[in-house]
């Protein structure tokens, strides 16, 4: 059909070429231009490379490339951009079909604006895995944030932590689920219980830390020390475990530590909400546990120094004192440097 119609336009153009050259050019170019725009809009490329351009070059907003991470990484990207935006006079926007599309079903109070879908010549501003001083004054010539794909250092957003807790306020349904889990975890009906969430990440992280990033698995000594820390400091403590490996937790943590392992939740957001509704947190590793702990806002004890220190990943991508706020407490139970990884 298109071939037939375009052939007729081409013949008509040839008959007008001498008398109406401009009209001829328009009727042949415009259909092709429309097709290109439609293809770009519905292609996968369009979901990844959207950039924002402002007519006012003095206040050019900045957008970011999408990442393919799951919930924890998406929250990291949003929070990092939110923090950078407050420092850069609100210039930073989110790419369409990206973070907001992923986060809006579970968070109803997200306030960051979405950039309109325009393809332009882009000029990248590179970020590292943590905030650097020059990030406070991103130049107007930059319209795209590149560099480290999964920025999740507290240095990007700790100055707006209260605002982020409002931004990441879960839907009423998810909050209700979290409250019911905590009520069920209080099996002894303790009055004024102190809830401590324990995030145990295993699954894909087992292989990733051990093989790719030269790290070690969290051990029982860490869990014993962390649980003991909170039991000594607080009364009526109820420990609630959230994990991607419930069977392991049931077999290894319940009897020796006296903890409650939550049932499988409908979505990952429900699990983070359980952690966020606790008073304090024990976390192993990963952005998922990070956000459960950060939103809870109480004391945090984490598994520290689990990476071989002389690897490029530990030197540039995951620097412990850049990843975790100094108010959090790290517990070291393994001498990684002495191991052959």
Note the pLDDT tens digit of each residue in 34-61: 554 444 443 333 333 332 333 333 344 5
Per-chain mean pLDDT for the chain: 83
**Model pLDDT for residues 259-312, shown as the tens digit of each residue:** 999 999 999 999 999 999 999 999 999 999 999 999 999 999 999 999 988 888
Packing angle, helices 268-276 and 71-87, rounded to 10:
60
Please give the full DSSP string across 152-178, using - where no structure is assigned: --HHHHGGGHHHHHHHTPBPHHHHHHH
pLDDT at 89: 85
d(CA 16, CA 171): 62
DSSP 240: E
| % of the chain with per-residue pLDDT over 70 | 77
Q: Considering the entire predicted model, what is its pTM?
A: 0.81
Mean pLDDT, range 305-331, rounded to an integer: 93
Assess whether pLDDT exceeds 70 at residue 199: yes
Q: Helices marked H in 19-108 — which ranges?
A: 21-42, 44-48, 71-87, 99-103
Phi, psi of 301 (to 5 degrees): -115, 125
Q: How far is CA 295 from the centre of its chain?
A: 13
Mean pLDDT, range 232-238, rounded to an integer: 98
């Amino acid at each position: 059909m298109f071939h037939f119609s375009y052939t007729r336009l081409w013949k008509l153009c040839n008959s007008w070429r001498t008398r109406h050259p401009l009209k001829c050019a328009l009727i042949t170019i415009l259909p092709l231009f429309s097709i290109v725009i439609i293809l770009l809009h519905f292609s996968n490329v369009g979901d990844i490379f959207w950039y924002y351009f402002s007519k006012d070059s003095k206040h050019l907003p900045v957008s970011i490339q999408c990442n393919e991470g799951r919930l924890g990484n998406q929250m990291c990207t949003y929070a990092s951009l939110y923090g950078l935006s407050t420092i850069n006079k609100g210039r930073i926007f989110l790419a369409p079909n990206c973070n907001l599309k992923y986060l809006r079903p579970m968070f109803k109070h997200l306030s960051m604006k979405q950039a309109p879908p325009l393809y332009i010549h882009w000029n990248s501003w590179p970020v590292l895995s943590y905030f650097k001083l020059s990030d406070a004054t991103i130049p107007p010539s930059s319209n795209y944030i590149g560099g480290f794909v999964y920025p999740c250092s507290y240095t990007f957003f700790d100055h707006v932590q209260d605002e982020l807790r409002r931004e990441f306020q879960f839907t009423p349904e998810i909050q209700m689920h979290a409250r019911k889990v905590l009520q069920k975890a209080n099996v002894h009906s303790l009055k004024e219980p102190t809830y401590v969430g324990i995030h145990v990440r295993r699954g894909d992280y087992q292989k990733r830390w051990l093989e790719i990033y030269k790290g070690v698995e969290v051990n029982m000594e860490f869990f014993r020390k962390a649980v003991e820390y909170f039991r000594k400091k607080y009364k009526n403590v109820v420990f609630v475990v959230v994990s991607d490996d419930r069977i392991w937790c049931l077999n290894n943590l319940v009897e020796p530590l006296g903890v409650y392992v939550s049932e499988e939740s409908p979505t990952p957001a429900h699990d983070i909400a359980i952690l966020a509704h606790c008073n304090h947190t024990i976390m192993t590793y990963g952005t998922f546990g990070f956000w459960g702990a950060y939103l809870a806002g109480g004391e945090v004890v984490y598994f520290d120094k689990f990476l071989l220190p002389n690897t490029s990943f530990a030197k540039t991508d995951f620097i412990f004192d850049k990843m975790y706020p100094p108010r959090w407490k790290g517990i070291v139970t393994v001498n990684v440097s002495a191991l052959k990884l």
